[in-house]
């Protein structure tokens, strides 16, 4: 069901932050793995691929959200692909004109942005159900999260594999023979991706636990929060007083009364 209810500022901007960290497309949702492994041989490739995908994601999310009541459900996937393909081609045209080296370097994977599962997944699961602004925020969040992950992987692989960062070569490292070519090759891509996924998820889980603990201790310290005989806070449950209240509450939640 289309959620067209008014949102407060926090709800509007929530997809932005969750897309970057909590729902990071690469490390948490494990989407778009093919371009992730293929183009992260250097940091600049990862960054540019991430930004190109962000642009397509933001624009396609906005258009899909705008047209969500106009597109018939039966043909929604071809319609979304049409929108995504338009912006993907647009990015290709722009990069070919003004960034030809990067265009050559990204090669086929720039054209394959159109079938990147992140784009279709966000169009289907978010933009087609939400208003324009939250959809754009979701596009920016997920896109920046993807760009961040690709850049990070590219930096690690380029540094370990070629002794360089963003094309700047550390001559001393290269002359000492320290770069390990395997990190630029596909096997190294899988290795770095796997390790980064473990580290990222451990960090995010630790942060989430710390936030939950802080919230819990805040509740324990607050004298206004009712507690049971063991001193644990009693969860606050608001129950409608009458049957009519319950129907109203259900309607507000978007259910059938």
Partner 1 sequence: MRKLNVSKESVRIVVCLGVIALVASLLLAVVNIFTQVDEAAELRKAIGDVYAEAEIEREIDLKDYDDTDGTEVLNAFVATDGAYIILTHVAKADKVGYNAEGVSMLVVIKDGAIIKLSGYSHSETPGLGANAFKDKHLNQYVGLTVDRFDVSDGAQIIAPESGYFTPVKVTSATYTTNAVFLAVKASVRAYVILTGGM
Contact residues toward partner 1 (CB under 8 A) are 41-42, 44-45, 67, 70-72, 74-75, 78-79, 82-83, 85-86, 89-90, 93-94, 96-98, 100, 104-105, 107, 158, 161-164, 167, 179, 181, 184-185
- At closest approach, how far in Å is the CB of 133 from partner 1? 22
Closer to partner 1 by Cβ: residue 96 or 227: 96
- At closest approach, how far in Å is the CB of 9 from partner 1? 32
Residues 241 and 243: their CA atoms lie apart, in Å, by: 7
- At closest approach, how far in Å is the CB of 211 from partner 1? 39
Nearest to 87 by CA among 107, 44, 116: 116
What does the chain come to in residues? Answer: 257
First-to-last alpha carbon distance for the chain, in angstroms, is 15
Residues 156 and 42: their CA atoms lie apart, in Å, by: 8
Closer to partner 1 by Cβ: residue 181 or 209: 181
Return the ∠ at Cα 12 (arms to 11 and 14), rounded to 5°.
60
Closer to partner 1 by Cβ: residue 15 or 154: 154
Closer to partner 1 by Cβ: residue 181 or 222: 181
> Could you give the maximum distance between any two Cα atoms of the chain, in Å?
79
Q: Assess contact for 7 and 134: CB atoms under 8 A.
A: yes
Closer to partner 1 by Cβ: residue 82 or 132: 82
- At closest approach, how far in Å is the CB of 44 from partner 1? 8
Output the CA–CA distances (angstroms, integers) from residue 198 to 26, 137, 187, 201, 203, in the order listed. Answer: 12, 27, 17, 5, 9
- At closest approach, how far in Å is the CB of 161 from partner 1? 6
């Amino acid at each position: 069901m289309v959620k067209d209810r008014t949102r407060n500022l926090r709800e509007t901007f929530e997809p932005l932050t969750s897309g970057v960290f909590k729902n990071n497309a690469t490390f948490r949702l494990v989407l778009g793995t093919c371009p992730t492994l293929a183009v992260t041989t250097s940091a600049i490739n990862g960054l540019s691929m991430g930004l190109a995908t962000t642009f397509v994601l933001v624009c396609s999310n906005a258009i899909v959200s705008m047209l969500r009541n106009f597109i018939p459900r039966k043909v929604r996937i071809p319609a979304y692909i049409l929108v995504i393909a338009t912006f993907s081609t647009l990015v290709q045209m722009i990069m070919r004109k003004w960034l030809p080296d990067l265009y050559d370097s990204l090669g086929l994977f720039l054209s394959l942005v159109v079938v990147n599962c992140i784009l279709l997944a966000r169009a289907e699961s978010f933009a087609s159900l939400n208003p324009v602004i939250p959809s754009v925020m979701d596009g920016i969040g997920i896109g920046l999260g993807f760009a961040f992950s690709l850049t990070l992987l590219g930096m690690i692989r380029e540094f370990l594999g070629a002794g360089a960062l963003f094309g700047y070569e550390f001559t001393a490292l290269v002359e000492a023979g320290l770069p390990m070519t395997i990190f630029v090759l596909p096997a190294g891509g899988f290795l770095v991706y796997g390790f980064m996924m473990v580290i990222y998820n451990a960090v995010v889980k630790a942060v989430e636990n710390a936030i939950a603990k802080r919230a819990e201790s805040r509740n324990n310290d607050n004298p206004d929060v009712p507690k049971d005989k063991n001193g644990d806070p009693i969860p606050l449950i608001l129950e409608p007083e009458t049957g009519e209240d319950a129907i109203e509450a259900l309607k507000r939640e978007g259910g059938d009364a």
